[in-house]
């Protein structure tokens, strides 16, 4: 499974692989996006603020 991160402010694109033996691989699309939000977005962040993230995912 590949993860694509796009930083519009820095104009950078970063790919990362999630290995099959990783716990993130077992979570699937919805679980993976939920875990990323949990790990990287402060719980009290403004929904339209600069610390929030837009995530798009799909499952095959």
In this prediction, residue 25 carries a pLDDT of: 80
Residue 32: CB atoms within 10 Å:
19
In this prediction, residue 2 carries a pLDDT of: 86
In this prediction, residue 59 carries a pLDDT of: 67
pTM given for the model: 0.72
**Count: domains in the chain:** 1
Q: Token pair of 42, please?
A: 């402060």
In this prediction, residue 24 carries a pLDDT of: 79
- Residue pair 57/33 in contact by the 8 Å Cβ criterion: yes
Q: 15-58, pLDDT tens digit by residue?
A: 999 888 887 788 777 888 888 899 999 999 998 998 888 888 87
**CA-CA-CA-CA dihedral for 2, 14, 51, 44, to nearest 10:** 30
| Domain extent at residue 7 | 1-60
According to DSSP, the residues that pair with 12 across neighbouring strands are 7
In this prediction, residue 42 carries a pLDDT of: 94
């Amino acid at each position: 499974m590949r993860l694509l991160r796009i930083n519009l402010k820095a104009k950078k694109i970063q790919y990362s692989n999630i290995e099959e033996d990783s716990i993130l691989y077992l979570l699937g699309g919805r679980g993976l996006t939920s875990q990323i939000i949990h790990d990287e977005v402060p719980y009290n962040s403004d929904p339209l603020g600069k610390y929030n993230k837009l995530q798009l995912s799909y499952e095959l």
